[in-house]
Amino acid sequence: MYVAVLAGGSGTRLWPRSRGETPKHLLNLVRPDVTMLQETVGRMLPIVAPEDVYVVTNARHAEAVREQLPQVPPENVLAEPVGRNSGPAVGYAAAHVHKRDPQGVMLVLPADHVILKEEDFRAVAQTGARTAEYGNLVTLGITPTSPDTGYGYMETGEVIMTVDGRPVRAVLRFTEKPDLETATRYVESGQYVWNSGMFMWQASTILEEMRQYMPGLFAALTALEPVLRTSEEAVEIERLWPGLEDRSIDYGVLERSRKVVTLPVDIGWSDVGDWATLAEFCPRDEHGNALLGDAMAFGCRDSLVYSSGRLITAIGLEDMIVVDTGDAVLVCPKSRAQEVRKVVDRLKAEQRRNHL
Amino acid sequence: MYVAVLAGGSGTRLWPRSRGETPKHLLNLVRPDVTMLQETVGRMLPIVAPEDVYVVTNARHAEAVREQLPQVPPENVLAEPVGRNSGPAVGYAAAHVHKRDPQGVMLVLPADHVILKEEDFRAVAQTGARTAEYGNLVTLGITPTSPDTGYGYMETGEVIMTVDGRPVRAVLRFTEKPDLETATRYVESGQYVWNSGMFMWQASTILEEMRQYMPGLFAALTALEPVLRTSEEAVEIERLWPGLEDRSIDYGVLERSRKVVTLPVDIGWSDVGDWATLAEFCPRDEHGNALLGDAMAFGCRDSLVYSSGRLITAIGLEDMIVVDTGDAVLVCPKSRAQEVRKVVDRLKAEQRRNHL
């Protein structure tokens, strides 16, 4: 089994901690001593050799990724000169795996998710690998715990096979971030799972599907193939990538292919996309407060107070978020954690590069 | 007319801006370019000569006071080696005024209050001076605008004289910070005024009352008198002050003397004792937000966001206070602004001197 970690996201809604130079996956958000990327790779190392781990990231972060993952061979950190969404990133990793082992199964993992049940996850990955060997595009589907409107949903169909005693279901339809009413209906029906962004397939299978559904990308990967693992690779990527379409693997392949199945899993997963979600994964006191760093709370409940060094004092807060970094402070109710995006948009509009 | 500014308070509830080294009166809280002390003195200078202004302050702040008030003679800044509340502070200033002009009228002013109607205030001061010349202890009484439990109240009696067309009333009783029910009753009765802490009297009158009601203080002032304005003054103060009782002028004299009257005034006064009150005196946008410094608000209402330099971003706040200084941040609903005191108490208990 190979692992392809996609480390191209930014984590906009986790501003002011996530920044252009230090995107979410490079941060120690959930555990003080380990970054999201290190957790993502580290939890696979009991069953995957470090030289079988690939990380696709933007060239500007490649050095930081290599520093954070000293056990992974530096040439396995694949640097994209420009980000073109997950389609090209998956393609780039698939080309590398394919050159070594065409039938090799890749586990595609976003670099910045939480998985609490690590043992269960590794077992699921083994099952997923066996499922992928039948030529399937395997999506890991999360049983929804709430009508979250921040996730993509997959409508599941009948059980088409059973692997290791686990049912593998057909996927009938993808729905991106539905409204609350729709999401509630989905969850109540019991027929939907969240799209975790974690996938498994053979390199040959996904490349074959790209040939059909993302021909531009497939052509670029074909041009790239002869120079992979040579000194020409960086030059060729530099030449090819700017011309690629910006397209997710979901939209580019999964929503069209007939080979998509889902393995419903229960692994304590979250994409921890915003501060309110992150707060659920932080250690909390008896009043539900997550107090990180030099934070003092007086009569607060269910709030997250994060200090990166200075003293933060909070009085009488309920369901609030206070995040302090060296140069910026965010104060926001948990219910509005999605709107951190607006702050970042405003900073971009005002060209405040120091804060981006 | 002489002015005696009492600059001995700390402004605990305005932490983290007010600190031991920079108490409230030394801060530019309401106007960006002027400190509370400078406003207090500056608003009297149209009718009082700078050499007739005295400031009583703790020795540790005397140099800062002199720097902020270059027009006031440095020897008029009276340095107490230890704070002993307002009784000794008033006595010290009264001794100085008395030495120059026994019948001189002193206007006693806290150094850290807001007065919006400056013209009216100066007119009131002239009337107060004439009232004081009859041998009264004149308190400036504020007509309550709400049942505020943070103020002292005075029950007023009959009109005992009229000066400049203004009624001067007897004071029947002082009440320190009543509970809400009592305060509501007071305000509804129309018989009570707030004790502003601003007083007027002849130096000879207050010293005579001190002889009767604060004999220990009076003895100290008598011992001090011969060395006032000599090089011995500091030595003698250093010797006498530690032995004085800690007592306010209200409790020491005003609640006992039969010479107390009140001049009800309407001068746009506030003691701006906490962040919620201060917010009312800050410029606000159309949503009622006071955004000071590098502060950004998204969907906020009636909130105060103060930055001393770094970027502060606030989303969806209502009636909240966010205050950032170089080394500390406070987040608190306006309704709990009094509890900032608890933060300071905790910092003291933990001996966190850097933050005090």
Q: How far apart are CA A24 and CA B325, in angstroms?
A: 27
Tokens of B78: 């009276």
**pLDDT value at position A246?**
96
B67 burial type by CB count under 10 A (0-12 exposed, 13-18 middle, 19+ buried): exposed
Cβ atoms of A102 and A204 closer than 8 Å: yes
The tally of CA atoms less than 13 A away on the side-chain side of residue B31 is 14
- Closest Cβ opposite residue B328 in set A298, A310, A328: A310
* Mean pLDDT, chain B, whole residue set: 96
Closest Cα in chain A to B332: A315
Count contacts between A and B (CB, < 8 Å).
110
**Chain B CB within 8 Å of residue A324 CB:** yes
Closest Cα in chain B to A350: B296
Average pLDDT over residues B238-245: 97
**Alpha-carbon Rg of chain A, whole angstroms?**
21
**Inter-chain CB proximity B298 and A330 less than 8 Å:** no
**pLDDT value at position A210?**
98
Model pLDDT for residues A146-157, shown as the tens digit of each residue = 998 889 999 999
Give the distance from residue B327's alpha carbon to the nearest chain A alpha carbon, in angstroms.
Answer: 5
Residues of chain A in contact with residue B344, where contact means CB-CB under 8 angstroms, are none
Model pTM?
0.89
**Inter-chain CB proximity A311 and B328 less than 8 Å:** yes
Give the distance from residue A265's alpha carbon to the nearest chain B alpha carbon, in angstroms.
Answer: 35
Cβ atoms of A169 and A156 closer than 8 Å: yes
Model pLDDT for residues A228-286, shown as the tens digit of each residue = 999 999 999 999 999 999 999 999 999 999 999 999 999 999 999 999 999 999 999 99
**Chain B CB within 8 Å of residue A172 CB:** no
Band of pLDDT at residue B201, cut at 50, 70 and 90:
very high
Give the distance from residue A33's alpha carbon to the nearest chain B alpha carbon, in angstroms.
Answer: 24
- Closest Cβ opposite residue B327 in set A310, A317, A332: A310
**Residue B149 above 90 pLDDT?**
no
**Residue B189 above 90 pLDDT?**
yes
Cβ atoms of B202 and B90 closer than 8 Å: no
Q: How far apart are CA B174 and CA B148, in angstroms?
A: 15
**Chain A CB within 8 Å of residue B100 CB:** no
Give the distance from residue B209's alpha carbon to the nearest chain A alpha carbon, in angstroms.
Answer: 44
Give the distance from residue A69's alpha carbon to the nearest chain B alpha carbon, in angstroms.
Answer: 33
Model pLDDT for residues B71-90, shown as the tens digit of each residue = 999 999 999 999 999 999 99
Closest Cα in chain B to A296: B343
Band of pLDDT at residue B326, cut at 50, 70 and 90:
confident
**pLDDT value at position B27?**
96
Closest Cα in chain A to B326: A310
**Chain B CB within 8 Å of residue A299 CB:** yes
Tokens of B243: 């032995």
A109 burial type by CB count under 10 A (0-12 exposed, 13-18 middle, 19+ buried): buried
What ipTM describes this predicted complex?
0.86
**Chain A CB within 8 Å of residue B330 CB:** yes
Closest Cα in chain B to A300: B332
Per-residue pLDDT of chain A (356 residues; tens, 9 = 90+): 999 999 998 899 999 999 999 999 999 998 889 999 999 999 999 999 999 999 999 999 999 999 999 999 999 999 999 999 999 999 999 999 999 999 999 999 999 999 999 999 999 999 999 999 999 999 999 999 899 888 999 999 999 999 999 999 999 999 988 999 999 999 999 999 999 999 999 999 999 999 999 999 999 999 999 999 999 999 999 999 999 999 999 999 999 999 999 999 999 999 999 999 999 999 999 999 999 999 999 999 999 999 999 999 999 999 999 999 989 999 999 999 999 999 999 999 999 999 99
Higher-pLDDT residue of B61 and A10 is B61
Give the distance from residue B14's alpha carbon to the nearest chain A alpha carbon, in angstroms.
Answer: 13
Residues of chain B in contact with residue A298, where contact means CB-CB under 8 angstroms, are 339, 342-343, 346
**pLDDT value at position A60?**
95
The tally of CA atoms less than 13 A away on the side-chain side of residue A118 is 10
Give the distance from residue B314's alpha carbon to the nearest chain A alpha carbon, in angstroms.
Answer: 5
Model pLDDT for residues B105-121, shown as the tens digit of each residue = 999 999 999 999 999 99
- DSSP H or E run through A246: none
**pLDDT value at position A340?**
97
Give the distance from residue A332's alpha carbon to the nearest chain B alpha carbon, in angstroms.
Answer: 5
Mark which residues 6-65 of A lie under 8 Å from B by CB. Answer: 16
| Residue A170 CA to its chain's centroid (Å) | 23
Residues of chain B in contact with residue A352, where contact means CB-CB under 8 angstroms, are 311
**Inter-chain CB proximity B332 and A310 less than 8 Å:** no
Q: Using N-to-C axis directions, what is the helix angle for A86-100 and A215-224, rounded to 10°?
A: 40
| Residue A287 CA to its chain's centroid (Å) | 31
Q: Which domains does chain B have, with CATH numbers?
A: 2-270 (3.90.550.10), 275-355 (no CATH)
Cβ atoms of B296 and B283 closer than 8 Å: no
Q: What is the DSSP letter of B343?
A: H
- Closest Cβ opposite residue B316 in set A311, A328, A339: A339
**Inter-chain CB proximity B355 and A315 less than 8 Å:** no
Q: How far apart are CA A112 and CA A68, in angstroms?
A: 14
Mark which residues 246-285 of B lie under 8 Å from A by CB. Answer: none
Give pairs for A324-327: CB < 8 Å, separation 24+: A324/A293, A324/B329, A325/A16, A325/A17, A326/B310, A327/A16, A327/A354, A327/A355, A327/B310, A327/B311
**Residue B324 above 90 pLDDT?**
yes
Mark which residues 300-319 of B lie under 8 Å from A by CB. Answer: 305, 307, 310-317
B299 burial type by CB count under 10 A (0-12 exposed, 13-18 middle, 19+ buried): middle
